[in-house]
Amino acid sequence: MLEQIFGSAARTKIIKFFCLHSEEEFFVRELTRLLGTQLNSIRRELDNLVDFGFLSTRNKDAKHFYFVNKNCPLLPELKNIVFKAITLEEMQVAHKMSKATGLSLLLFTGVLTNVSTGTDVLIVGKVNKNDFYKYLEKIADGLNGKLRYTFFTKADYTYRTEVTDKFLYDILSQAHIVVVDKLNKENNKPFDDFNFKHFRQ
């Protein structure tokens, strides 16, 4: 979706990345590694985005750093487009994940909800992990670093809730997105099947 708007894969990755990391600065080779894009493509699009006014640059420790230009008049609109597109993408992926056979509980937390927890995605049940890895890669696109995820069996999850496990308590006591919770349904508790809210804005 964003690539159709911004015109090239490299430009889309850079704009999306900097909208998600608007308070940070990065040098060229660092961006090449983080975004998985060729150096020449990164350099060309960075120069274009500096000329456009979206990015600014500065030299530090013999390196050329790029960061978001907070005075860019179109910055709010660009961030709004990016965040809405990310929300839609994550919702679409989450819907696909929610239909997985054997899934009992699926929560988004951590970096996806701007809180500090031991994981970013919690998956409970007997599921095909290879299928989930593909979905997790799509959600991780644009994040600075790898998306952390945790698989629990139903028995392990139940035990951890009974002993008030700190890892699990930290997740449930902070902001999180409940995508699927068949455990509550099994306990005859009312539950909204899909309650998705985006926390990055």
pLDDT tens for residues 18-29?
A: 888 888 999 999
Last residue of a domain, one of 20, 41, 73: 73
**31 and 122 belong to one structural domain:** no
**66 and 95 belong to one structural domain:** no
Please state the domain count of the chain: 2
**121 and 167 belong to one structural domain:** yes
Residue at token pair 């970096």:
111
* Cβ pair 67, 24 in contact under 8 A: yes
The pTM for the full model equals 0.66
Last residue of a domain, one of 50, 73, 96: 73
Neighbouring residues of 186: CB distance < 8 A, sequence distance ≥ 6? none
pLDDT tens for residues 153-180?
A: 999 999 999 999 999 999 999 988 888 8
**49 and 91 belong to one structural domain:** no
Instruction: For residue 52, give its domain range.
Output: 2-73
* Cβ pair 117, 174 in contact under 8 A: yes
CA 123, distance to chain mean position in Å, is 16
Region for residue 164 given its phi and psi (left: phi exceeds 0; alpha: psi -120 to 50; beta: otherwise): left
Last residue of a domain, one of 73, 106, 125: 73
**66 and 102 belong to one structural domain:** no
Residue ranges in the chain assigned as alpha helix (H): 2-6, 9-20, 28-35, 39-52, 75-98, 129-140, 154-162, 166-172, 182-186
pLDDT tens for residues 102-138?
A: 999 999 988 888 789 999 999 999 999 988 888 888 8
Residue type, 85: A
